[in-house]
Amino acid sequence: MAFAAMPMLALTPNGEGVYEISNAAELEEFAAIVNGGENTANAVLTADIDMDNVTHTPIGNSKAVAYKGTFDGRFHTISSLNMEVEGGTNLALFGYAGVGAKICNTIIDDLSTFFGEDKCAAFVGQCTGTTIRDSVLTNSERELYLCRQKESWVITSLCPMSIQRHGRVT
């Protein structure tokens, strides 16, 4: 019986067990790590990330691997975030975030392409017991919320956070 070779992932945690993400490929690789079952992995951004020409796979793309780690953007910007899944749900930087997840200090600038059917947001498609703080959505012409809950659009009142949304001024 022949087995297909799995692609080798180059992203590895530093000495403190934290993934350091500096580009779009590493962000997508981190999503693959989390979606592959390591959903308590912690990460920091070490540079601004341009996602132009990259279709993002949400981090924590199912309830089974809801993200439960700490993601610190260190006030770096993720720009031109593209998500496109016909009929897709829970499309966001994080698809599902579970109890204990912390998403902080992250800036999303310009949600470029965003096609989905349900629970689509900027930061988290669906969350429970998640802390999202000091994060900003800028230059988005779309009226997307920062976190979408199961039954209604919310700017998650269940989690302590300070998030701002800034639109375009023309």
Q: What is the pLDDT of residues 60-82, one digit of tens each?
A: 988 999 999 999 999 999 998 88
**pLDDT bucket at 34, cuts 50 / 70 / 90:** very high
pLDDT at residue number 160 = 34
Cα distance from N-terminal residue to C-terminal residue, the chain: 61
Q: What is the pTM of this model?
A: 0.78
Q: Where in the chain does DSSP place strands (E)? A: 18-21, 42-45, 49-50, 70-84, 94-97, 102-115, 124-127, 131-133, 135-138, 147-148, 153-154, 163-165
Buried b / exposed e along 65-78 (16+ C-beta atoms within 10 A) = bbbbbbbbbeebbb
Task: Provide the percentage of residues in the chain whose pLDDT is more than 90.
Answer: 41
Query: Could you tell me which residues come within 8 angstroms of residue 8 by beta carbon, excluding any fewer than 6 positions away?
Result: none
**pLDDT bucket at 35, cuts 50 / 70 / 90:** very high
pLDDT in tens, 103-156: 999 988 876 555 545 455 678 888 888 888 888 777 765 545 555 443 333 333
pLDDT at residue number 29 = 98
pLDDT at 168 over 60: no
Strand, coil or helix: 79 = strand
Q: Cα dist. 146→6, 49, 149, 170 in Å?
A: 34, 19, 10, 23
Stronger pLDDT, 90 or 93, i.e. the higher one: 93
